[in-house]
Amino acid sequence: MPSCRKRRDWRREVRQLSDWKAEVEEIVYPGKICVPYSWTVGSTLSKWYVQLRDDGEIWANRCPTCEKVYVPPKVKCIQCYKDMSEWVKLPGTGILETYTVVYYEEPGLHPKKPPFIYGIIKMDGADTGIVHLVDKVDPDKVKVGMKVEAVLAKQREGNIMDIKYFRPVA
């Protein structure tokens, strides 16, 4: 006849959280933890960043149904939810649709020291705007509607900062 072993009830032996807290002084350290991580930007943005990095070209994609042109490119059309597969090369120029001047410093977050300008640029050949830095213009002289062109970084790494900034076209 097989022997039956009596099972121990582990639940009775586990100490409750409140038990140890009564015996130990709680110390709180107010610090920040840096957690390195990486993620994929997906196949559509990967293609866009590689084209920008390797060839210094800004591309967009066009919806096959409504023909809206998106930059940065999208996987699906925001208007009609169709897959986006047609790519369109853009000339690298556009119109400044709106902007803000940043006057405060935020180390580690801002790409440069203030004052600097963030703008939404509607690129020629596209129906949407791209948010980026606007430089080589005094913050007091920047205007909505001004023609701008992309200036590419000399050393490109495959990210949005491969477009160094947009500057006014003379």
Domain that holds residue 153: 42-168
Residue-level pLDDT at 163: 98
- Residue 32 pLDDT: 80
Q: How far are the Cα atoms of 66, 81, 86, 150, 169 from residue 136, in angstroms, in the given order?
A: 36, 38, 34, 12, 10
Answer yes or no: is 23 within a domain. Answer: no
Q: What is the pLDDT of residue 78?
A: 94
Question: What does the block give as tokens for 169?
Answer: 């076209």
pLDDT of residue 13: 55
pLDDT, residue 57, reads 97
Q: Does some domain include residue 7? A: no
Q: Which pLDDT does position 142 carry in this prediction? A: 97
> Which pLDDT score, from 0 to 100, does residue 157 have?
96
159 within some domain:
yes
Residue 37 lies in a domain: no
Within-domain flag for 90 = yes
pLDDT of 56 reads 97
- Sheet with strand 58-62: strands edge to edge: 69-70, 58-62, 86-90
The whole-angstrom separation of Cα 89 and Cα 76 is 18
In a domain, 20, yes or no: no
Do the domain assignments include residue 27? no
pLDDT of residue 60: 97
Number of domains in the chain: 1
Q: CA distances (Å), 128 to each of 5, 78, 79, 121, 143, in order?
A: 71, 11, 12, 8, 19
3-class secondary structure, 46: helix
Q: What is the mean pLDDT of each run of 10 residues along the chain (170 residues)?
A: 54 57 72 83 94 97 97 95 96 98 92 95 97 97 98 96 96
CB 57 within 8 A of CB 71: no
**pLDDT at position 4, please?**
54
**In contact, 120 and 98? CB cutoff 8 Å:** yes
Within a domain: 116: yes
